[in-house]
Chain A
Amino acid sequence: EAGVAQSPRYKIIEKRQSVAFWCNPISGHATLYWYQQILGQGPKLLIQFQNNGVVDDSQLPKDRFSAERLKGVDSTLKIQPAKLEDSAVYLCASSGGIGTYNSPLHFGNGTRLTVT
């Protein structure tokens, strides 16, 4: 099966600019996640979708970050305006959905964002 697809692979922007990331999950996976991984740290969950509804966005900095999953498939994550501390790898992951107990998350290759 095809894996989780993300684009772009790399992005360099200046602070205060905006940026958007795209994710296409594994076909049929109901749950989609965006994680932020700062260099040298473990991934931190930003937002979790079940189909096109938000399950958890408690750690999403809503003053600058937004995410949507229209039609319950693809998702975009946007940062506006970006800050230096947003430099990180943004990982998208998908899974079979809440209740599929033996399903690990499948991660994409990530988008490496550098804010200068």
Chain B
Amino acid sequence: ELKVEQNPLFLSMQEGKNYTIYCNYSTTSDRLYWYRQDPGKSLESLFVLLSNGAVKQEGRLMASLDTKARLSTLHITAAVHDLSATYFCAVEANFGNEKLTFGTGTRLTIIP
């Protein structure tokens, strides 16, 4: 059974600081997704990582994938309050079937 773990579960950081969220998974996979969820809202797709070494960047967020280590990171640069949300990684267990297993989520709070 595929297991997806994120850490930290909670993260409180000051504006302007950098930090990284980690996503580890237990079985081989070449596809990993990052989603953002605001309180009471649905999930918004941030990144799709499709191969080993993939790196995607959008604004202050950068995601990377190391399939050999079964690890993805979401790096936040110079955090701003608008980035406060819960971030989920999700892994596709079998390539092409689009069945996603989600991590537990990281609740990020940016303090002014």
Task: Tell me the A residues contacting B by CB distance below 8 Å.
Answer: 31, 40-45, 48, 55-56, 91, 93, 95, 98-99, 101-110
Contact = CB atoms under 8 A, between A and B. Distances in A.
Interface of B: 4, 31, 33, 35, 41-45, 48, 50, 88, 90, 96-105
Binding site secondary structure of chain A: loop
Given A101-B50, A107-B42, 9 more contacts: A41-B104, A42-B88, A42-B90, A43-B43, A91-B42, A93-B43, A103-B98, A107-B44, A108-B42
A106 B45 contact: yes
Contact of B105 (A42, A93, A101): A42
27 contacts: A31-B98, A40-B105, A41-B105, A42-B88, A42-B102, A43-B43, A43-B88, A45-B99, A48-B98, A55-B97, A55-B99, A91-B42, A93-B43, A95-B98, A98-B96, A101-B31, A101-B96, A102-B48, A104-B33, A104-B48, A105-B45, A105-B98, A106-B45, A107-B35, A107-B42, A109-B42, A110-B42
Given A56-B99, A101-B96, A42 B42 contact: no
Contacts of A43: 43, 88, 102
B45 A99 contact: no
Contacts of A103: 98
A42 B88 CA distance: 7
A64 B17 CA distance: 48
B49 to A, nearest CB: 11
B50 A102 contact: yes
Contacts of A93: 43
A101 B31 CA distance: 9
B39 to A, nearest CB: 11
